[in-house]
Amino acid sequence: MLLSEVIKLESCSIEFGAEDKDDALHKLAALFKRSRKFEEISEGEIYKALKDREALGSTGFARGIAMPHCGLDRLDSFAISLAVCKKGVDFDSMDRRKTKVFVCIVGPKNASKQHLQLLASCSHILKQPGVVDDLLQATSRINLFEEFLEHADNGSGRVDVKGKEKLLLLFVKDEHILQDITEVFVEYGIQRSTIINTTEMENLISTTPLFMGFFNFTGDKSPTGKIVLAKIVEDHIDAIINGLEDIFGDLNAFSDLDAMVLDVFYAKGF
């Protein structure tokens, strides 16, 4: 089981903030709900399972590290979230210092062996010199995600996080939101994208001599738009869409931006 397949980019945070331990557990549960894996599992279920595990003994260790974890009956595979809280949270740690780095593991309740393996792997990474400091200096979710994986696989090298690639198309109807889209791309490590100028088909119909005076599909809206194309890793789709919806809200209800993801059958030099 590769850590690159288990850590959910959409469930990573470099701006994690919590008032106390209980609040931290609530917010860790909320991070997991950003992943489609947990569509059928409520935030309350995740929180309760994490809290029940903490009742057995704190998962807050020394050096500002905590590894909360739990098992869920209705989950069929593992997920890991990474969170950094620079101001720290009181998490009943062994050395009584505030916790700043959270590695949270949630998996099937009946998969004890794999659960222990993941705990051991993550613990090994966090014990390596400089890792905690590097994680605390992460400047984006993708940076945090990749920094952790940099030390995976028993330190023998970077884990390949390339994975299967998809083509993301964003249909932008208001160019003023392009800056916000760019910031999301930077946060999630999309370094190359292409923007195409477009004209709405409805505008062409409205200006066709035969139909002039009968149709005005565009109204006061601009008849032009943009299409943003970017090649992305399949496992990052949820994270990027979540990042966009953090800014614009539910894209199904936001009229100025539509998103589509297509399979990439062949690509060369792109």
Q: What is the pLDDT of residue 219?
A: 54
Q: What is the pLDDT of residue 13?
A: 95
For residue 156, what are its two tokens? 């023998």
Per-residue pLDDT tens digits for 191-245: 788 999 987 666 666 555 555 555 555 555 566 789 999 988 888 888 899 889 9
Secondary structure of 21-48 in HEC code, one letter for each residue: HHHHHHHHHHHHCCCHHHCCCCHHHHHH
What length does the chain have?
270
Q: What is the pLDDT of residue 198?
A: 84
Q: Percent of the chain having pLDDT more than 70? A: 86
Domains assigned to the chain: 3-155 (3.40.930.10), 165-263 (3.30.70.120)
For residue 55, what are its two tokens? 């009742």
- Indicate whether 155 pLDDT > 50: no
Q: What is the pLDDT of residue 220?
A: 54
pTM, 2 dp: 0.77
Q: Give the Cα separation of 68 and 46 in Å (integer).
A: 11
For residue 49, what are its two tokens? 């399972």
Q: What is the pLDDT of residue 201?
A: 66
Handedness of CA 102, 106, 112, 118 (dihedral sign): negative
Average pLDDT of the chain to the nearest whole number: 86
The answer to whether 268 and 38 are in contact (CB under 8 A) is no
Task: Tell me the pLDDT band of 1, cut-offs 50, 70 and 90.
Answer: low
Distances (CA, A) of 78 to 73, 105, 150, 192, 237: 12, 7, 20, 31, 18
Bridge partners of residue 60, in order along the sequence: 66
For tokens 């002039």, the residue is: 212
Q: What is the pLDDT of residue 234?
A: 84
Q: Give the Cα separation of 267 and 270 in Å (integer).
A: 6
Task: Tell me the pLDDT band of 5, cut-offs 50, 70 and 90.
Answer: confident
